[in-house]
Each structure stands twice: as structure tokens, then as C-alpha cells.
């Protein structure tokens, strides 16, 4: 089995690099990725950088390694007001919040000629849900839509706009839908797992830098533990 892992920031991939021996480092178009193995599974680990184009590039590179699944981990800002910092969202599907091709008879968020949204793989999603339910008892775990765009959402007006136009969206981030679109084109199953770094009311009592340092390591530990338990 070959598993691809994509995260945006160095702090989200450092634990893999520190933990897994004999990784082979490669760079394409200033995007770094690593090849190796862990507990009998082949791994492709990519640090995409932030944003949709960076995420699409990274996903294309790892897709050419022919993985069985692509796992995207990272942080997200809450849209659902019930989510708290540290809660975990498993995307049911991903859709863009900054695409408007409605003039060409598309729905809001739909790229012309592409699906309205990009569903994650139900079997992999279910497996991760079971894992987090058993091992992340302190966190609320929710499954639902996520939205992606090239803007960091930092205002209540924008949160309310997303709530209005993408009802049911749990959180917003900057890479997941692009990863989903490329995975769709390559016909590779994918999952998106996000830890909430900012509530819908923006009442965080921890800085983003502090959160990423902590959650990046925790997320990588959890992902490797999940991989180790795969049959």
C-alpha cells in the first residue's frame, strides 16, 4: 500500500521527517516532498505551501507516484459556531468558496466543466472517524462540508457570507478543494482532516503560530499511528 500525505506548512510535516528513517528528499518547482516507508507502507509526504495553486501542484506531484490514497491534514477556521479550537473536522466533501462561474450556468463554487464539489472517500473517512473517536476523546469530531479559497477568513462578515451561500459548511481553509479536484482528475481516493484553529466568533485565546506548532505534531503522530494500524 502506498499512502500520500499533504500538509501546507513545514511545522505540519516536521514530525514525519524527524520520526521516519531513511526518507528520500526531492524537490520539484521549489516544492519539497519525501519518499519512504513506515510500518510496511510506502509513503509520499509533501509540503505543499499555502493556497490552491500550491496545493494543486503538490497533489499532482504525489499523484504521479500512484498512491492508493491521498491524506490532507492541516488547520481550518470554523464556520459552524458549535466548533471549538482543537475540534476535528473530517470533510464529507470540499467546495470552493471563492469561485463564481454562475454566468455560465454553474452553481456558486463550481469550476466550469468540473463537478459542483469533490466528495472524500467514504471508507477512508469512516476509518479515520473511528480512529479519532477512539483516540481523540477530548475533541469534538464532526463530518460535513468544508470550503476552500485563497483568502484567510478573518472577519465576521465573511463568515456570515459563507454561512449564507454554503449552508452546512463546517470550516474554511485554503487547500483542500484543490487537492480534491486534482485527486478527482487522477481518480485517487482522498480524505481531508482539519483541526479547528479559530472559532466562528474569532474568540481564540491561543495564537495561530502556537496552535500550528502543537497541532502539526499531534496530527502527524495520529496519522502515523493510524497508518501503523492498517492491515
The alpha carbon of residue 110 and the mean position of all alpha carbons in its chain are separated, in whole angstroms, by 19
Are the C-beta atoms of 178 and 190 separated by less than 8 Å? no
Quote the CA–CA distance of 143 and 92 in Å, as a whole number.
Answer: 6
Place of cell 464532526: 142
Instruction: With a cut of 60, say whether residue 151 has pLDDT above it.
Output: yes
What's the pLDDT band for 11 if we cut at 50, 70, 90? Answer: confident
Range of the domain at 82: 2-229
Q: Which residues are catalytic?
A: 12, 198
pLDDT in tens, 74-86: 889 899 999 988 8
Confidence of residue 210 (pLDDT cuts 50, 70, 90): low
Task: Report the CATH number that the domain containing residue 43 is assigned in CATH.
Answer: 3.40.50.1580
| Per-residue pLDDT tens over the stretch 78-119 | 999 999 888 999 999 999 999 999 999 999 999 999 999 999
Tell me: pLDDT of 204 over 60.
Answer: no
Domains held by the chain: number: 1
Amino acid at each position: 500500500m502506498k499512502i500520500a500525505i499533504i500538509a501546507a506548512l513545514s511545522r505540519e510535516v516536521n514530525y514525519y521527517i524527524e520520526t521516519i528513517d531513511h526518507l528520500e528528499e526531492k524537490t520539484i518547482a521549489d516544492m519539497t516532498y519525501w519518499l519512504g516507508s513506515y510500518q510496511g507502507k510506502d509513503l509520499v509526504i509533501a509540503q505543499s505551501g499555502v493556497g490552491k495553486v500550491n496545493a494543486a501542484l503538490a497533489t499532482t506531484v504525489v499523484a504521479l507516484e500512484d498512491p492508493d490514497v491521498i491524506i490532507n491534514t492541516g488547520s481550518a477556521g470554523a464556520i459552524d459556531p458549535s466548533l471549538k479550537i482543537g475540534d476535528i473536522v473530517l470533510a464529507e466533501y470540499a467546495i470552493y468558496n471563492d469561485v463564481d462561474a454562475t454566468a455560465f450556468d454553474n452553481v456558486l463554487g463550481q469550476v466550469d466543466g468540473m463537478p459542483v464539489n469533490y466528495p472524500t472517500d467514504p471508507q477512508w473517512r469512516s476509518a479515520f472517524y473511528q480512529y479519532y473517536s477512539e483516540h481523540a476523546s477530548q475533541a469534538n469530531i464532526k463530518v460535513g462540508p468544508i470550503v476552500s479559497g485563497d483568502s484567510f477568513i478573518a472577519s465576521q462578515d465573511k463568515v456570515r457570507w459563507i454561512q449564507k451561500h454554503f449552508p452546512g459548511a463546517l470550516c474554511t481553509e485554503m487547500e483542500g478543494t484543490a487537492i480534491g479536484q486534482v485527486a478527482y482528475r487522477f481518480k485517487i481516493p482522498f480524505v481531508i482532516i482539519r483541526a479547528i484553529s479559530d472559532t466562528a466568533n474569532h474568540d481564540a485565546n491561543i495564537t495561530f503560530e502556537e496552535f500550528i506548532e502543537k497541532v502539526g505534531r499531534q496530527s502527524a503522530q495520529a496519522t502515523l499511528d493510524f497508518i501503523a494500524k492498517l492491515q
